C-alpha cells in the first residue's frame, strides 16, 4: 500500500491565503481539500446595527480586487428592500463602472496570474523578460479598466462615488469623452488578447459543470437578471436561499456552497458565457468565432479565452455607454424613509461570478441581518471536483509536475480567497 500526499502550503498568484492537500492511496484519490486559511473577518456580524447606506462602502472592503461587485450587490439589495429602482443613465453608469472592474480584474488574472502557468514562468515579471510586448499589453489593458474606475468611481480600489440610489456625482460629459480614446485602444488590445491566449496549449479535458449565472432579457449580465442554471433553474434572487445552501467544512474558513439536494456548481466567466453567449456584443462574438471558441466551454483551462472575450465585450459596452451619455439631472434617486422592517436580496455578476447579498433592515433603517455569498465560496467545491479528476488522470506525474498542474487548475477559476473567507496552501498525501 502506498500513500502519497501532495501539499501546497501557500498558493501563489491567487488573491488571498489558501492551501491544497491531496491524499492518494493505491492510485485512488482519497481526499482533495482546498484549504482556506485566510483569517475570517466577520463582515456579516459587524454590519448589524449599521445604517443601510453604509453597506456599499463597508462590504467593498471584503475584496480589493472586486470592490465594485460588492458595492453593486449591496446597492441593489438595499434598493429592493427600499422599493426603489435606478434606471436610465444612472443604470448605464453602473454598468460602465462594472465594465471598468471586469477589464481591470480579468486583465490582472489573464496576464499577471494565469498566463505564467501556460508559458512556464513563476510570474509576469519574468514573463516580461521574454515576452515584453505581451505583459505590456496586459498592463495597458488593466490601466484602461482602472481609468474607468478612477473617472467614475474616484479611485481604482474601493471607489468612493457609489451610493444606494446611484452616485454622489455624475461625471461631466467631457470626463467620459476623455476616456473614449483609452477604451477604444483597449478594445483592440482585448481582441489581440483573445488571439494570444487562444494560442496557448490546452490539455484535452471536459468537465460536466452545472453553470449558474444571471440571465437578462437583452443584456450580457452585470447588475440584473434572473439566476439561471444549465440544469434548468430559473429564479429571482429573493429565492436564492431556497435553491442553494452553504455548509461549513473543517478544512476551510470559507463556507462551501451546493445546489440544494444536488452537488457542486460553477459560477464565473464560463457560466456566464455558456448561458449568455447570444447576448455578447458583435466584436466579442466575432473574435470568439475567429479563434474557434466553442459555444459552451467545458474545458476549465480554456476559461482564459472566455475571460478575454468578456474583456472585448466590456470594452464595447463601455464605448456604447460613453457614446450615448447625457449627464442626468440628479446623481441619485432618493429613498423613502424606512418605517417598518424590510428585506431585500440581489445578485450581480462579479468578475469571478455571481455575488449574492441579502439584508434585513429594522424599522429605523439599520441592518438587522446580512448574508453575503461570494463567487469563490460557490466555486470552492467545484474546484475540488476539478482537482479530483485532474489528479486521477495524472497519477504518473512526479511530485513537482503534479503540484504545478493542481495549482494551474485552481487558477483556472481565478479564486479570490479574500472574498471567500467568510480561502489556500497544496498538501498532497500519497498512501
Partner 1 sequence: MTDRTRPRLGVFKFASCDGCQLTLLDCEDELLAVADRFDLADFREASSATLDGPYDLALVEGSITTPSDRDRIVEIRAHAKTLVTIGACATSGGIQALRNFADVEEFTRVVYARPEFIRTLATSTAIRDHVAVDFELRGCPIDKRQLLEVISAYLGGRAPDVPTESVCVECKRRGHVCVIVAHGTPCLGPVTQTGCGAICPGFHRGCYGCFGPQDTPNAASLVAHLGPLGMDRPSAARVFRTFNAMAPAFRAAADAAAEPPP
Where do contacts with partner 1 occur on this chain (CB under 8 A)? 10-17, 38-42, 44-46, 48, 50-51, 54, 57-58, 61-65, 67, 108, 112-113, 116, 122-126, 128-129, 132, 135-136, 139-140, 142-143, 146, 154-158, 160-161, 167-169, 247-248, 250, 253, 255, 331, 407, 418, 422
Q: State the Cα–Cα distance between residues 340 and 327, nearest whole angstrom.
A: 34
State in angstroms the smallest separation of the CB of 172 from partner 1.
12
Instruction: Report helix, strand or coil for 113.
Output: helix
Q: How far is the CB of 231 from partner 1 (least distance, A)?
A: 26
In angstroms, what is the minimal distance from the CB of 384 to partner 1?
17
Angle between the N-to-C axes of helices 67-82 and 88-107, in degrees from 0 to 180, rounded to the nearest 10: 150
Between 204 and 250, CB nearer to partner 1 = 250
Residues in CB range of 57: below 8 A, 6 or more apart: 71, 158, 160, 162
Count of alpha carbons within 13 Å of 113, Cβ hemisphere only? Answer: 27
Residue 310 host element (H or E): helix 303-323
**How many Cβ atoms are within 10 Å of 150's Cβ, its own excluded?**
15
Q: CA neighbours within 13 Å on the CB side: how many for 172?
A: 3
Between 228 and 427, CB nearer to partner 1: 427
C-beta of 145 vs 221, nearer to partner 1: 145
Q: Which residue has the cell 484535452?
A: 204
* 116 vs 344, beta carbon nearer partner 1: 116
Handedness of CA 193, 195, 200, 201 (dihedral sign): positive
Report the nearest approach of partner 1 to the CB of residue 403 (Å). Answer: 10
Q: Is 42 left (phi over 0), alpha (psi -120 to 50) or beta?
A: left
Residue 171 has a CB neighbour count (10 Å cut-off) of: 20
Name the minimum Å distance from CB 220 to partner 1: 25
Residues in contact with 317: Cβ distance below 8 Å, sequence separation at least 6, in sequence order: 95, 96, 99, 220, 281
Minimum distance of partner 1 from residue 397's CB (angstroms): 17
- Cβ 70 to partner 1 shortest distance, Å: 10
Instruction: Give the start-end residues of each E strand in 189-311.
Output: 212-215, 226-229, 234-235, 244-247, 256-259
- Residue-level length of the chain: 431
* CB closer to partner 1, 132 vs 282: 132
CA distances (Å), origin 254, targets 9, 179, 244, 250, 402: 17, 38, 15, 10, 25
Residue whose CB is less far from partner 1, 214 or 308: 308
Nearer to partner 1, 286 or 365 (CB): 365
Which cell is 283 given?
466584436
Matching residue, cell 488522470: 393
Min dist CB 45 to partner 1, Å, is 4
Closer CB to partner 1, residue 73 or residue 281? 73
Residue 400 main-chain phi, psi, to 5 deg: -60, -40
Grid cell digits, residue 207: 468537465
Q: How far is the CB of 169 from partner 1 (least distance, A)?
A: 4
Instruction: Pick between residue 250 and residue 337 the one whose CB is nearest to partner 1.
Output: 250
Farthest CA pair distance, the chain? 74
Q: How far is the CB of 387 from partner 1 (least distance, A)?
A: 17
Taking the complex as a whole, the smallest distance from the CB of residue 313 to partner 1 amounts, in Å, to 21
- The DSSP string of 184-198 is HHHHHHHHHHHHHHH
Is the CB of 194 or the CB of 420 nearer to partner 1?
420
Q: What CA–CA distance (Å, rounded) separates 334 from 330? A: 10
| Residue whose CB is less far from partner 1, 168 or 180 | 168
Q: What is the DSSP letter of 278?
A: G
Amino acid at each position: 500500500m502506498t500513500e502519497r500526499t501532495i501539499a501546497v502550503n501557500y498558493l501563489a498568484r491567487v488573491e488571498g491565503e489558501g492551501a491544497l492537500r491531496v491524499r492518494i492511496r493505491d492510485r485512488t484519490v482519497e481526499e482533495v481539500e482546498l484549504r482556506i486559511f485566510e483569517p475570517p473577518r466577520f463582515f456579516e456580524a459587524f454590519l448589524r446595527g449599521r445604517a443601510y447606506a453604509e453597506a456599499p462602502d463597508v462590504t467593498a472592503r471584503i475584496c480589493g480586487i472586486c470592490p465594485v461587485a460588492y458595492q453593486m450587490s449591496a446597492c441593489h439589495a438595499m434598493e429592493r428592500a427600499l422599493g426603489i429602482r435606478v434606471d436610465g443613465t444612472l443604470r448605464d453608469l453602473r454598468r460602465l463602472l462594472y465594465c471598468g472592474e471586469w477589464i481591470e480584474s480579468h486583465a490582472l488574472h489573464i496576464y499577471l496570474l494565469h498566463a505564467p502557468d501556460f508559458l512556464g514562468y513563476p510570474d509576469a515579471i519574468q514573463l516580461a523578460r521574454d515576452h515584453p510586448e505581451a505583459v505590456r499589453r496586459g498592463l495597458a489593458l488593466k490601466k484602461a479598466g482602472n481609468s474607468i474606475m478612477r473617472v467614475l468611481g474616484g479611485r481604482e480600489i474601493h471607489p468612493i462615488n457609489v451610493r444606494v440610489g446611484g452616485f454622489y456625482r455624475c461625471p461631466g460629459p467631457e470626463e467620459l469623452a476623455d476616456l473614449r480614446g483609452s477604451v477604444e485602444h483597449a478594445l483592440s488590445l482585448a481582441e489581440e488578447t483573445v488571439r494570444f491566449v487562444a494560442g496557448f496549449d490546452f490539455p484535452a479535458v471536459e468537465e460536466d459543470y452545472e453553470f449558474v449565472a444571471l440571465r437578462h432579457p437583452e443584456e450580457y449580465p452585470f447588475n440584473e437578471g434572473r439566476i439561471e442554471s444549465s440544469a434548468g433553474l430559473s429564479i429571482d434572487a429573493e429565492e436564492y436561499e431556497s435553491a442553494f445552501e452553504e455548509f461549513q467544512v473543517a478544512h476551510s474558513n470559507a463556507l462551501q456552497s451546493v445546489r440544494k439536494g444536488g452537488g457542486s456548481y460553477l459560477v464565473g466567466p464560463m457560466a456566464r458565457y455558456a448561458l449568455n453567449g447570444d447576448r455578447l456584443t458583435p466584436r466579442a462574438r466575432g473574435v470568439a468565432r475567429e479563434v474557434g471558441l466553442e459555444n459552451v466551454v467545458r474545458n476549465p483551462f480554456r476559461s482564459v479565452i472566455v475571460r478575454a472575450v468578456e474583456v472585448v465585450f466590456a470594452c464595447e459596452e463601455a464605448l456604447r455607454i460613453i457614446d450615448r451619455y447625457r449627464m442626468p439631472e440628479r446623481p441619485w434617486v432618493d429613498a423613502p424613509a424606512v418605517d417598518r422592517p424590510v428585506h431585500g436580496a440581489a445578485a450581480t455578476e462579479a468578475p469571478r461570478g455571481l455575488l449574492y447579498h441579502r439584508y434585513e433592515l429594522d424599522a429605523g433603517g439599520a441592518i438587522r441581518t446580512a448574508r453575503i455569498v461570494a463567487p469563490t465560496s460557490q466555486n470552492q467545491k467545484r474546484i475540488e471536483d476539478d482537482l479530483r479528476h485532474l489528479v486521477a488522470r495524472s497519477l504518473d506525474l512526479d511530485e513537482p509536475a503534479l503540484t504545478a498542474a493542481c495549482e494551474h487548475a485552481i487558477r483556472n477559476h481565478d479564486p479570490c480567497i479574500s472574498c471567500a473567507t467568510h480561502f489556500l496552501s497544496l498538501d498532497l498525501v500519497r498512501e
